[in-house]
Chains A and B, each alone.
Chain A
Amino acid sequence: MTTTSIRPDGRQADQIRPLEIVQGLLHRPDGSAQFALDKTSTLAAVYGPMEIKIRDEKVDRATIEVNYKPLTGQSGVRDRWVEFNVRRTFEGVVLTALHPNTLIRIELQESRVHGSEISAAFNAATMALMDAGVPMRTIVGSVSCAIDDQGTLLLDPTEHEIETATSFHIFAFDSEMQGALFNDSIGSFTPEQYNACHEICRKSVSKIFSFMRTAVEKKLLTQVQQLQKE
């Protein structure tokens, strides 16, 4: 495994793309965030806890609904699959027992597509939930990686790198970073390669978490400054 090779966009094999987080950019939802991995970016909006249809009501906890919209065209089965996984993950993370008989709706919209969109969606959802002040047990960070035909691990792959890869792995971790909350790997790979992917993603998710922390700190700081001015 070589980690020194340079990728077409000038990155090292184990380097993630430049991150960008904007919180609270939408006014109508209760919380919103945009999470960008360079040219990949996803917009998330959170509504709730709010009123729910009697049909979907759960007496002991809040119901979580996730809607994922692709950049172009109508949504399809792939988007249902993303929704299923995001919902399953956040059902275990959001403290739903604090808001019984309510609905928490997470809207995800791809705004730029250049590989690893699902990881961006997980991260955007976390930031938007935080922005909405929805209580959570932990925060969720996600990183993807691919293995190319040479057996090289490519962290945070671009669209082209995924297309030519032999396997593609998505991991989502909680802040303890012990094991993955969510994992989806597909292609052809050995258990050893799987472990290597897990390790590299686990290590680099800490970068995402620290970036999330900085973003929240910055946002709070500006809010405090504004209050002081007033």
Chain B
Amino acid sequence: MDRRRVNGPELSVAPLVATVDAEGAVNFVQETPKQAFTPDTKRQDGRSAGDIRPIYLRAGLVNQASGSAYFEQKNTRVTCGVYGPRQNKKAQFNELARLECEIKFTPSSCEKRRALHRDPEEKELANFIAQALSPAVKLDRYPKSTISVYISVIQCDGWWSAVAAAITCASVALIDAGIDMIDSVVAASTLVANPSTVLMDASQSEEDAHPHIDAGVLLVAELPTFKSITHVVQMGKLDINQTTKATEACLEVCAKIHGVVNHYLRESVIQQAEI
């Protein structure tokens, strides 16, 4: 019961998905059968293991915000708004600006409906997105102020790819806001499916087919010009060789994403100059 929102019935459950055959027997739909990937097999959407989905990027969608960006990779859609630098709410003096970050998955973004209020998972994500971004921002340029980064995931096709998209998107929004930065931040995620396969930018169905028990995920956020990593998240079962291999693969992809971001930013500056 949330007294600040319109409430539905006390209890409601997501429907069970099943097929019913002619005799009336119920067959619950199984998860997508596991499939061994080798470097030459194509993935469900026709990509090879090292490919990412095509990126669409745009900045400046929210006119009320200091800066904003929209980032899309097929069905993963993320938007970000940056407000600030603005006055610190707490009276305490601070020489460095505070980088505040919030992420919200909209209720209809995932297969199962997500709650309207921020859940602990999102709070944790927000923390580490802030950690991934802050090395790039020149926080000492804005004493006594707060820079707020608000991210909304409109649709999530692959949890970790959405998080990586959120980091890249937030960095573009920070650039759009004209915040002083030493570099942009780009992030890439990967799913290590079996001893040899590193699936870049895994979709939801690929994540579902490889639960954490026998696979691992790795997310790397990088300052591409400095070639330094600002954040790594690793989950699941990975040995040191797999981790190294996955990190290298992520960094390779980061360079590609950086190319896209740079290209977009350059084009938009040229376009603005023409106007």
With a CB–CB cut-off of 8 A, which chain A residues contact B6?
77
0/1 interface trace, chain A 72-91, chain B, CB 8 Å (1 if under)? 00111100100000000000
Contacts A76-B4, A77-B5, A77-B6 known; 8 new A-B pairs at CB < 8 A? A74-B1, A74-B3, A75-B3, A76-B3, A76-B7, A77-B3, A77-B4, A80-B4
Q: How far is the CB of A85 from chain B (nearest CB, A)?
A: 17
Cβ contacts A to B, 11 pairs, < 8 Å: A74-B1, A74-B3, A75-B3, A76-B3, A76-B4, A76-B7, A77-B3, A77-B4, A77-B5, A77-B6, A80-B4
Chain A residue total in the interface (Cβ 8 A): 5
* B7: A residues at CB distance < 8 A: 76
Total A-B pairs in contact (CB under 8 Å)?
11
**Contacting residues, chain B, for A74 (C-beta < 8 A):** 1, 3
Contacts of B4 in A (CB 8 A): 76-77, 80
Distance of A147 Cα from B3 Cα, bound (Å): 30
- Secondary structure dominating the interface of B: loop
CB of A226 to closest CB in B, whole Å? 44
Task: Name the interface residues of B1-55: CB closer than 8 Å to any CB of A.
Answer: 1, 3-7
Which range contains the number of B residues in contact with the other chain? Answer: under 10
Query: In whole angstroms, how far apart are the Cα atoms of A49 and B175 in the complex?
Result: 46
Q: Which 4 A-B pairs have the closest CB atoms?
A: A74-B3, A76-B3, A77-B6, A75-B3
Which residues in chain A, 47-87, are within 8 Å of chain B measured between CB atoms? Answer: 74-77, 80
Q: State in angstroms the CA–CA spacing of A75 and B1 once bound together.
A: 11
Chain B residue nearest to A80 (CB atoms) is B4
Q: Give Cα A209 to B1, complex, Å.
A: 40
A24 to B142, CA, bound (A): 53
Q: How far is the CA of A98 from the CA of B4 in the complex (A)?
A: 34
The CB with the most chain B CB atoms within 10 A, among A75, A77, A80, is that of A77
Complex Cα spacing A76 to B8, Å? 13
Q: Once the chains are docked, how many angstroms separate the CA of A36 from the CA of B29?
A: 60
Give the shortest distance, in Å, between B115 (CB) and chain A (any CB): 17
A80 to B3, CA, bound (A): 10
Tell me, in angstroms, the Cα distance from A76 to B5 when the chains sit together: 7
Q: How does the 8 Å CB contact mask read for A118-147 relative to B, with 1 for contact and 0 for none?
A: 000000000000000000000000000000
CA–CA, A80 and B4, complex, Å: 8
Which B residues lie within 8 Å of A80 (CB)?
A: 4
Give Cα A7–Cα B46 distance, bound, in whole angstroms: 72
Contact with B along A19-56 (1 / 0, CB 8 A): 00000000000000000000000000000000000000
- Determine how close the nearest CB of chain B comes to the CB of A68; give it in whole angstroms: 13
Chain B contacts for A75, CB-based, 8 A: 3
Residues of A within 8 A of B1 (CB): 74
Minimal beta-carbon separation of A54 from chain B (angstroms): 10
Tell me, in angstroms, the Cα distance from A77 to B4 when the chains sit together: 6
In the bound complex, residues from chain A placing their C-beta under 8 Å from that of B5 are 77
| B4 and chain A: residue at smallest CB distance | A77
Bound Cα distance A75, B5 (Å): 11
